[in-house]
């Protein structure tokens, strides 16, 4: 018997698996590759919402935990995926500069917003009003993280690549049984795949489609992340990741011509150099309308748990939400009401009886 059977190996599943292992628990992970949002994500961590210069919810707590979680995981996997890199907000007017300095006076933002304008001129970008620098930022190469962690799980025989058949889950008072696996608990970390889950599909996880490019721009001399209406993330060798769009209606994970046109338009607003589209990706982010995760335990089945709704900030939210769920399950520490999915009052829980 294992302590936790985990369904999903994206950012949520990895965060919970590693949290369990750090607490000397045993795990087994299943994934069928039906969800790709974690693999193609921009992976940025940034404590400030740059559109309106406001603090990301729980930003300091998330960054504090991340700064030990990911380096420890890098050492364990012997790979480098956590890249500390400045994020610069390009200003389009004096008014935006003034709004930046006004925001930096707020106690909750003072430690995240530099008071020194970045005046450097990067080849390929017009910046007559300079940039503001966000502190404690960078990005996680999520593709490297996901593939490396999955390889680690396979090496230890803790992983199987297959679809989960909900009809074969047996729920007992003291454990759950799935085929030949017995577990004290099961954690569903399926992202947008929650809509196939009979135990949690009633929850309002909308999903937001995002499209991204990899572009080649040899004349763009950029060693920082620029974030305006899109982010531009240097990958080396003249390659850059650019994204992302937000589409609340289309629930397919296929790139679209509309998404392509939108990204090209936004890139042209920022760059004044030629670029070539190398790759075009799309995925469905697991988002919730109130912009808070969905975490907790099924009200009728205490062995069934959920870790979902990490949205656009999975890199930051994953470790903190995994710790919160683990502490709730193992240490009976109540969840913050803002993340507990029981904040949502459904008419009923649909079950696979």
Write the DSSP assignment of 147-189 as a string of letters: HHHHHHHHHTT-EEES---GGGEEE-SS-EEETTEEEEEEEE-
Decide if pLDDT at 51 tops 90. Answer: no
Can you tell me the mean pLDDT for 295-305?
Answer: 97
- State residue 101's pLDDT score: 96
Token readout for 222 is: 């950029």
pLDDT digits (tens, 9 = 90+) for 195-244: 999 999 999 998 999 999 999 999 999 999 999 889 999 999 999 999 99
Mean pLDDT computed over every residue of the chain: 95
Instruction: Tell me the pLDDT band of 351, cut-offs 50, 70 and 90.
Output: very low
What is the CB-side half-sphere exposure of residue 215 using CA atoms within 13 A? 23
- State residue 350's pLDDT score: 46
Q: Lowest mean pLDDT: which of 69-83, 159-173, 335-349?
A: 335-349
Collapse the DSSP code of 247 into the 3-class scheme (helix H, G, I; strand E, B; otherwise coil) and give the result: strand
Can you tell me the mean pLDDT for 162-183?
Answer: 97
DSSP state of 6: E
Instruction: Tell me the pLDDT band of 325, cut-offs 50, 70 and 90.
Output: very high
Domain boundaries, the chain: 2-41+143-204+289-343, 44-140, 208-285
140: left (phi over 0), alpha (psi -120 to 50) or beta: beta
Q: Which architecture characterizes domain 2-41+143-204+289-343 according to CATH?
A: 3-Layer(bba) Sandwich (3.50)
Token readout for 280 is: 């075009």
- State residue 63's pLDDT score: 97
- State residue 352's pLDDT score: 43
Residue tagged 């530099």 (tokens):
114
Decide if pLDDT at 349 tops 70. Answer: no
This prediction's pTM: 0.94
Are 236 and 261 spatial neighbours (Cβ–Cβ below 8 Å)?
Answer: no
Can you tell me the mean pLDDT for 59-79?
Answer: 97
Helix (H) or strand (E) holding 69: helix 59-77
DSSP letter string over 303-348? TEEEEE--GGGHHHHHHHHHHHHHHHHHH-PPPPTTTBGGGS--S-
Torsion of the alpha carbons at 87, 59, 49 and 141, rounded to the nearest 10: 50
Let me know if domain 208-285 sits in CATH 3.40.50.150.
no
Residue tagged 């969840």 (tokens):
335
- State residue 37's pLDDT score: 85
């Amino acid at each position: 018997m294992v302590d936790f059977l985990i369904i999903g190996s994206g950012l949520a599943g990895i965060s919970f698996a590693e949290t369990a292992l750090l607490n000397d628990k045993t795990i087994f992970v299943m994934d069928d590759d039906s969800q790709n949002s974690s693999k193609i994500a921009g992976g940025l961590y940034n404590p400030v919402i740059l559109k309106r210069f406001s603090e990301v919810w729980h930003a300091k707590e998330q960054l504090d935990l991340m700064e030990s979680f990911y380096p420890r995981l890098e050492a364990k996997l012997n790979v480098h995926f956590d890249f500390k890199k400045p994020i610069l907000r390009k200003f389009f007017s004096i008014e935006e500069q003034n709004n930046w300095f006004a925001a930096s006076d707020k106690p909750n933002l003072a430690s995240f917003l530099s008071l020194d304008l970045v005046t450097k001129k990067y080849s390929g970008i017009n910046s007559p009003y300079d940039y503001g620098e966000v502190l404690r930022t960078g990005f996680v190469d999520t593709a490297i993280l996901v593939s490396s962690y999955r390889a680690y799980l396979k090496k230890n025989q803790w992983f199987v690549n297959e679809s989960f058949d909900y009809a074969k889950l047996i729920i007992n008072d003291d454990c759950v049984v799935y085929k030949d696996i017995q577990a004290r608990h099961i954690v569903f970390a399926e992202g947008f795949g929650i809509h196939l889950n009979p135990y949690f599909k009633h929850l309002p996880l909308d999903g937001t489609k995002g499209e991204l490019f990899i572009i080649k721009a040899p004349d763009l001399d950029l060693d920082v992340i620029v974030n305006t209406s899109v982010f531009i993330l240097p990958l080396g060798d003249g390659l850059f990741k650019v994204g992302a769009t937000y589409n609340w209606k289309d629930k397919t994970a296929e790139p679209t011509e509309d998404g392509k046109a939108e990204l090209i338009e936004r890139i042209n607003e920022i760059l004044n150099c030629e670029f070539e589209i190398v790759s075009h990706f799309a995925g469905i982010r697991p988002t919730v309308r109130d912009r808070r995760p969905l975490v907790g335990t099924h009200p009728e089945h205490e062995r069934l748990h959920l870790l979902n709704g990490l949205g656009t900030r999975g890199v930051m939210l994953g470790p903190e939400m995994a710790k919160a769920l683990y502490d709730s399950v193992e240490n009976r520490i109540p969840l913050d009401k803002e993340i507990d999915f029981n904040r949502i009052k459904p008419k009923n829980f649909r079950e696979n009886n």
